Structure formats: structure tokens, C-alpha cells
Chains A and B, each alone.
Chain A
Amino acid sequence: MELERHSYDVVVVGAGGAGLRAAIEAHEAGARTAVVCKSLLGKAHTVMAEGGIAAAMANLYPEDNWRVHFRDTMRGGKMLNHWRMAQLHAQEAPDRVRELEDWGALFDRTADGLISQRDFGGHRYARLAHVGDRTGLELIRTLQQRTVALGIDVYMECTVTRLLTGPDGITGAFGYWRESGRFVAWQAPSVVLATGGIGKSYKVTSNSWEYTGDGHSLALQAGATLVNMEFVQFHPTGMVWPPSVRGILVTESVRGDGGILKNSAGNRFMFDYIPDFFRKETAETEAEADRWYDDKKNNRRPPELLPRDEVARAINSEVKAGRGTPHGGVFLDIASRRSAEYIRKRLPSMYHQFKELAEVDITAEPMEVGPTCHYVMGGVEVDPDTEAARVPGLFAAGEVAGGMHGSNRLGGNSLSDLLVFGRRAGAAAAAHASGRPRADLPDEALADAGRAALAPFEREGGENPYTVQHDLQQTMHDLVGIIRTRGEMEQALERIAALKERVANLSVEGHRQYNPGWHLALDLPHMLLVSECIARAALEREESRGGHTRDDFPATDAEWAKTNLICSRAPDGSVELRRQPLPQMPAELAEIFEEASA
């Protein structure tokens, strides 16, 4: 078998914010480091992030600090977050933002010349460092330029299909160049997974084609565990019209900057959906909500800025009750509330997106929006301080890692997560590799990985991978979506089992050179494995919390509040599920919640 071989201390899989930040840190720690990514450098899904990076820098509100950010994050996740991750995240995010400036990032400024911060759902103070509504682009370009300046090796348009392990843990990775279809193997004692999420398993999603759950699946197959896979975030505001753009993200900044949600009757319906859990901190009248933008001390947050899970469920209910827009969404209106100049200045890419794709002028008319699959809170179970998974030498950071966001992620906490835990994973991966010999990769394991990758070419007359992907997306959308019930999820699991058989029988046309059909055929097993984990965990958790809503168990449950669900791979290849107690928060942190409620 023709095979290109390389040897590194640290191989980072994925070149979004977490991957690049990990690579920079590993490189600076002295590790020989490579980044492997499915797209061209600079195109990763981080580029799509719009609103900003949440960090308690207190540039606008001196009252803000890491404890407030920590509290907001934990409450947004309905207290299921790993407390230690939420603590590290809140403490370290400001430094991670400042260091981006040393690498060339240009954030919008306050009048004092500091980094400007904007309001977002679930955050008590204006906290998101931002550049208009293209913060993700700024983040990725800054990290990309830093990566290039440091001379880190980047394997672009290269897909990892397997992690290689020996008796002592990770030994390397195997993959193929998308351009030529030729195989590559990397020998490395440390691998950092930074592969992002799973959204492409859903029909309506804000995620790009890359989001096929590769990292989740690779980790599981290598013997690591996944935590709380049932929690999938549906962003409340995706585009709904025209059909071809359904799901494309409409940034939460629209609401942070003053936009409101209305149903077809013109009612600002979010006031009807304020849960008890957030009642004390949410405005009761439209007048109070409107005053809050300028006076946060004496007024409470508008209900449009409740955490995303609450807003998405509310929109879903309004549409189901027949109060939706002609195209099955609700109205998001900023036109009647802010000047055209302000909107164009603060939300330039939203203005452009609606103008070009929907022929809607958002400075003059409302947008139509509805929920879209956006983010998976569940992911690889890691040690909070080092991001080490349960396989020696394997690390995970960013969306592919679990625990940080509990049952629901707050907007803006993703970009900060990438930076904080990307850096920690890179440092720990470099430390793990230091002084460790690079193990030989056994020929048989490499040959086996090669055979598996080429199998779709060997079969004739099998099914088209695009059809199978479409059927999976429909299944997850219909049966494991925003509102779930036992019967539907059982049906989903049956369908996933049938889809697995179909995937084993895929065939692809053409040859190995830049062949998207073949690439999809190799991504599909990951998508199915991850979808099975989501459905199995969602079936097991008999309560509603954050990004997991059970129609048959609509309340939160005290016992489940203390329980994580862990997925692992059984020897026969099936997904094994077990309950695990939630890590106990130390008393000095628990006090933060008592102070606030007093």
C-alpha cells in the first residue's frame, strides 16, 4: 500500500479556533506539531461565528468579573456543566482575548479605546468582545496568521479516518489527502481532537459539511468516552426562507442589539415563556425590557435574551400553535427599533446575508426566523485542566469536548471555550509527548485502515451515499429533534440500525482524486455512530433540561440533575450507556449561587 509517513510530537485534528490555538500552544511549548484539517486553512466552521467572544473583561461594566460569568454559564447550562471547566473558562477568557490583540486581531473599541463588549442571551453584563458581526472570521484569521508566522506544518484538505493506538495509548493517526485520495499516516504520542460538532446529521442546521462528528466517533472507537450526548442546541434564530437557506444562522447579536421576537399577531410572545428559573432576572414588561439596554442596574433583561434553549422552545410552540409566519417561523424585528445606520454598522453581515439571499432589507422589514441545529453540548469526556480523554495521549478541545456547557451553551461562550481549552489541550499534549518515544505503527493496522477506506470503491451497485445522508438527516430532524418522545426515539434507533446496514453497502463512482461522494461515504459511519449516541442518551434521560426536551417528561428532575450519561463502545462495536454522578462543586463556588439568589 502506498503511504506517506510523518512523525510528530503532537498532531492536532481540526483547524478551527480550538485546533489552531492548541497547535500554537504545543508549538510554543517546543513540541513538533502538525495540524490536519478537512478544508483549506481559514475555512473552518469557526469562521461562521458572528456575535463575539464572551469574557468578563469589565471594559463596559466594572461590576463584571469571572464569578458573574461563571454563574451565568452554569445557570445557562442548568447546572449540569462541569464546574471546574466553567470556572477555568470564566477565569481565563479575558487573557485569551487580550492575547489575540498581540497577534493582530482588531476588535471594535469602546470610547476609552478598550475592546468593546456587547450584550448577549444569558449574560448579565455586556461581555462579548466582537468585530461587527464577523467575530469568528477575525478569530480564525488571527490564529491562522499566527500559525503561519510560527511555521507550524498544516495538512490542508486532509481527512483523518482512524486514530491508532497501542498498549500505552495513542500512537498516531491515519488519513487521506482529499485532493489525491492518497493515504497518510502520522506517528505521534499525542493527538488533539478539535473537530467541532455533529450538525450535519440534522436536516435544518447552521453547520457546514465538515460537521460530521468525526472527532466524537474517532474518540469513541479509540476507547474514549462521550458525556451527555443528548444535549443538542437548536439556535432559536436560523433563516427559514427561501428553503435553500433554511437553517443558516441569524446572529443572537440582533437581539443583543435591540431586536425583538413577534408572532403573526404582532405580539412580543417571549413574555409568555419566562421560566421560573429565570423569572427573577427577566423583565416583566416591555417598558422595563426596553430600558435595560441603557440602564442595566435598575432593569432586568428582555426575555428575548433568555438562554437559547428557552427561546428556541418558545418559537417552536408559537409556530405549532398556528401563530407563525407564512414560512413557518416567527418575526425578528430590529428595523422598527434601531436606525438603519446603526443596524448596518452593528450587523453588516446580517444585512448583507438577508439582502443577497432572501431579498429582505433588515433595516426596513422584519426577518423570518426559526430554530436550527447549531451546537452539540455533549462530547468527549475530558479532564478539565488538561483536556485529556480516557485514552493516554488523546486530548479534545472545543465543540468536540463535553462538559463545559452542561445542558445548554450560552452564546459567546463557544469562542472563549475554543481559546481557553484549545490552549490547555495544546500545552498538555506537548507535555505528554515530551520525552516519550514515538511508537512504530504496525503495518497490519495501517493496511486495515486503508482497506476500510477503499471499500466503497470495491462494491458495485450499492447505494448512493447522498441518499443515505439525506435519510439520516430526515430521521434525526423528525425523531430526535427539538422536542422528543420515547416512541419517536425508539423508532429513530431502529432507523439508524437500518441505515448502518445501508452504509455498509455504499458504493461510489469515479476514482480517488477529489471525490466528494467517496469522502461522504467515509464520513457517514461517524455520523451514524454519533446519531446513535444522541438517540440512546436522549431516550435514557427521562427529564427535560437545556437542549433536551422530552414531551413525555416535561419537568426537570432532581435525580437527573446529579447525573451524567456516558457513552462508550462495547467490545461488539455497539454503544454502551451508563450513568455517572456529576462532579461535586466545592463549597466556595457553590456560595456564588447563594449570594446571587439572596
Chain B
Amino acid sequence: MSYQATFRVWRGDATGGDLQTFTVEVNEGEVVLDVIHRLQATQAGDLAVRWNCKAGKCGSCSAEINGRPRLMCMTRMSTFTETETVTVTPMRTFPVIRDLVTDVSYNYDKAAQIPAFTPRPRDADGNHRMQQIDVERSQEFRKCIECYLCQNTCHVIRDHEENKAAFAGPRFLIRLAELDMHPLDVVDRKHAAQDEFGLGYCNITKCCSEVCPEGIHLTDNGIIPLKERVVDRKFDPITFLGAKIRRRPKD
């Protein structure tokens, strides 16, 4: 049942680092995170890694495994052959702190910039009423576990540090879509989506949907509909005229 696997794990910090090779025991049913934990416990006590739930629910243990963005806790060792070398590196889009841990503060900064949820008033009896079919669209996006694998994969910011200021990334575009489709929310964020969060940068290559461990259809169900609504708004003749009139410079 057990075998010795070859693991290459990136170790280092902001100043640099390299892949370190380990030979490590693997048992039946294990996932990559189990093996990383075994390295910590037996060979590299200070190997830095984030994790929490170990069940694909918290989105902490994101990394690149053989070059593919994945959750370490949901990547079974049985997907590799026993002789295959498994290479684990930190997410590339974010600055390394140490080993497999990256500085994901970009995501928290973007989250803080999004205009907050603002509900309509409750019904007279103190309840909100919504139909299941109406909540389901936003519920899909609320499944997001914030693993940031979509952010890591998105070519707009992967290897393009300069775009980070103007682009919030797929995670926060679907957050905007979620709020836009939320039955109770009354704020219009369509202009902001385009002007402040860089919706136009996305050219819908769907890489984000491909790596999402929750199977959220970020592009098809979130980003594309949001783009359509922005376009509708922008080119609707009445809205267009209204915007023009409002924007006239004060003199």
C-alpha cells in the first residue's frame, strides 16, 4: 500500500529560493497535503504552508501542483503514478512570503473596495421574501471558498503586476455579479465594474472556471452576464442621454 514518492517542493522567500527534492512515504488514499504534512513532521519542521479544513471547504491550501493550480487537500496522490515526481510550488500571481505561503493581500484590498451590500427594506412582518429560483443565481457565486486559484490563473494579472491596480480579478468580478443578481440589493455597481474593477480587461478565456474547485461557472454565469448588463446600460439611449446630461461640466 505504501510507497516512497519523490516530491519537489519550492522553498525560499521574497529574496529567492529553489526546488528542494524529498523522498517521502505515501499511503493509500492520501492527498498532496498529507504528504506535505509528513514532510513537516519528519523532514522539514519549518516548511511553510497554509491549510485549515482539509476537506475543500476553506480554500487555504492553494498551490501549483505539477504546474496546475489546485487545492492540495483535494489532490489525491492516486492521480499520479508511483514513479512520477510531484512538484509543488506556490501560487505565482502573488508575492511569496515563505515556501508555499504567498501574500494574498491583493485580494483583501480588492474586497474592501467593493461597494457594500445594501438591502431593500424588510416586509411589514419583518421578513424578506425571495423565491428559490431567484436566490440560486447569486448562491452559485456565494459557494466561492476564496482559494484565489482563479485569481492566480487569470492571465490579466499572472505575470502582469502592472494590471493589478486596475483589475480586481475573476473572484471579485463574480462578487460584483453576485451583488448585481442579488434579489435584495439596491445599489448599481455596473459603472464601477467597468471603470473601477476592470471588467473590460477580461476577454473570457474561461481559465478561471477551469480551475475553480467549487465548479463555479465564473465566466458563463457571472462575468459574461455582467458584461452584457454593462453594455445594455451603456448603450441604452435613455441611460446614455442621462449620463451625458449629468456629466456636463459645471461652469
| Distance between Cα atoms of A159 and B182 in the complex (Å) | 36
Tell whether, in the assembled complex, residue A516 and residue B53 are in contact, meaning their CB atoms are under 8 Å apart.
no
Tell whether, in the assembled complex, residue A508 and residue B52 are in contact, meaning their CB atoms are under 8 Å apart.
no
Tell whether, in the assembled complex, residue B46 and residue A515 are in contact, meaning their CB atoms are under 8 Å apart.
yes
In the complex, what residues of A have CB within 8 A of residue B169's CB? none
In the complex, what residues of A have CB within 8 A of residue B45's CB? 464-466, 508-510, 515-517
B116 within 8 A of A: yes
Query: Chain A 390-429, CB within 8 Å of chain B: the 1/0 string?
Result: 0000000000000000000000000000000000000000
- Choose the segment among B97-105, B200-208, B219-227 that binds chain A (4+ C-beta atoms closer than 8 Å): B97-105
CB-CB contacts below 8 Å: A38-61 with B: 39-45, 47-48
B243 within 8 A of A: no
Our pick among B27, B51, B99, B112 for the contact of A148 (Cβ within 8 Å) is B112
| Distance between Cα atoms of A324 and B114 in the complex (Å) | 52
| Distance between Cα atoms of A508 and B45 in the complex (Å) | 7
- Give the interface size class of chain A: 35 or more
Tell whether, in the assembled complex, residue B129 and residue A517 are in contact, meaning their CB atoms are under 8 Å apart.
no
In the complex, what residues of A have CB within 8 A of residue B24's CB? none
A101-B129 contact in complex given A48-B53, A465-B45, A466-B40, C-beta closer than 8 Å: no
- Choose the segment among B54-62, B149-157, B190-198, B228-236 that binds chain A (4+ C-beta atoms closer than 8 Å): B54-62
| Distance between Cα atoms of A41 and B50 in the complex (Å) | 13
Report the count of interface residues on B (CB-CB < 8 A): 59
In the complex, what residues of B have CB within 8 A of residue A466's CB? 40-42, 45
Tell whether, in the assembled complex, residue A138 and residue B135 are in contact, meaning their CB atoms are under 8 Å apart.
no
Tell whether, in the assembled complex, residue B54 and residue A101 are in contact, meaning their CB atoms are under 8 Å apart.
no
Tell whether, in the assembled complex, residue B57 and residue A108 are in contact, meaning their CB atoms are under 8 Å apart.
no
Tell whether, in the assembled complex, residue B130 and residue A356 are in contact, meaning their CB atoms are under 8 Å apart.
no
A244-B101 contact in complex given A148-B112, A349-B57, A508-B46, C-beta closer than 8 Å: no
B119 to chain A, nearest CB (A): 5
B84 within 8 A of A: no
B51 to chain A, nearest CB (A): 7
A342 within 8 A of B: no
A112 within 8 A of B: yes
* Chain B residue nearest to A207 in the complex (CB): B53
* Chain B residue nearest to A469 in the complex (CB): B41
Tell whether, in the assembled complex, residue A518 and residue B46 are in contact, meaning their CB atoms are under 8 Å apart.
yes
| Distance between Cα atoms of A136 and B138 in the complex (Å) | 17
B144 to chain A, nearest CB (A): 8
Our pick among B13, B47, B49, B52 for the contact of A208 (Cβ within 8 Å) is B52
A449 within 8 A of B: no
Our pick among A114, A208, A516 for the contact of B46 (Cβ within 8 Å) is A516
B30 within 8 A of A: yes
CB-CB contacts below 8 Å: A337-351 with B: 349
Our pick among A102, A132, A353 for the contact of B55 (Cβ within 8 Å) is A353
A134 within 8 A of B: yes
CB-CB contacts below 8 Å: A177-212 with B: 179, 208-210
| Distance between Cα atoms of A470 and B37 in the complex (Å) | 12
Tell whether, in the assembled complex, residue B52 and residue A210 are in contact, meaning their CB atoms are under 8 Å apart.
yes
| Distance between Cα atoms of A527 and B31 in the complex (Å) | 26
Tell whether, in the assembled complex, residue B40 and residue A45 are in contact, meaning their CB atoms are under 8 Å apart.
no
Tell whether, in the assembled complex, residue B57 and residue A103 are in contact, meaning their CB atoms are under 8 Å apart.
no
In the complex, what residues of B have CB within 8 A of residue A349's CB? 57
| Distance between Cα atoms of A244 and B144 in the complex (Å) | 25
| Distance between Cα atoms of A112 and B130 in the complex (Å) | 8
Tell whether, in the assembled complex, residue A509 and residue B182 are in contact, meaning their CB atoms are under 8 Å apart.
no
Our pick among A40, A45, A357 for the contact of B31 (Cβ within 8 Å) is A357
| Distance between Cα atoms of A470 and B51 in the complex (Å) | 18
A149 within 8 A of B: yes
In the complex, what residues of B have CB within 8 A of residue A243's CB? 27-29
| Distance between Cα atoms of A208 and B104 in the complex (Å) | 21
Tell whether, in the assembled complex, residue A113 and residue B131 are in contact, meaning their CB atoms are under 8 Å apart.
yes
Tell whether, in the assembled complex, residue A515 and residue B48 are in contact, meaning their CB atoms are under 8 Å apart.
yes
* Chain A residue nearest to B125 in the complex (CB): A114
A106-B117 contact in complex given A353-B56, A514-B99, A515-B48, C-beta closer than 8 Å: no
Tell whether, in the assembled complex, residue A513 and residue B13 are in contact, meaning their CB atoms are under 8 Å apart.
yes
Our pick among B46, B48, B99, B108 for the contact of A41 (Cβ within 8 Å) is B108
Tell whether, in the assembled complex, residue A134 and residue B57 are in contact, meaning their CB atoms are under 8 Å apart.
yes
Tell whether, in the assembled complex, residue A43 and residue B58 are in contact, meaning their CB atoms are under 8 Å apart.
yes
Query: Chain A 464-475, CB within 8 Å of chain B: the 1/0 string?
Result: 111100100000
Most B-side CB within 10 Å, residue of A39, A43, A511: A43
In the complex, what residues of B have CB within 8 A of residue A255's CB? none
* Chain A residue nearest to B59 in the complex (CB): A43
Measured CB to CB, the residues of A under 8 A from B are 39-45, 47-48, 98, 101-104, 106-109, 112-116, 131-132, 134, 136-138, 141, 145, 148-149, 156, 179, 208-210, 241-245, 248-249, 349, 352-353, 356-358, 464-467, 470, 508-511, 513-518
Contacts A/B (CB < 8 Å), 15 sampled: A41-B108, A47-B52, A48-B57, A98-B127, A102-B128, A109-B132, A137-B143, A138-B142, A156-B108, A353-B55, A357-B29, A357-B76, A514-B97, A516-B46, A516-B47
Extra contacts besides A45-B53, A357-B76, A465-B45 (8): CB < 8 Å: A47-B52, A47-B53, A102-B119, A103-B117, A179-B98, A248-B55, A466-B42, A513-B13
Measured CB to CB, the residues of B under 8 A from A are 13, 27-31, 34, 40-42, 45-60, 74, 76, 97-99, 101, 104, 108, 111-112, 116-117, 119, 122, 126-132, 135, 138-139, 142-146, 179, 182, 184-185
Closest 4 CB pairs of A and B: A242-B29, A510-B46, A517-B45, A113-B129
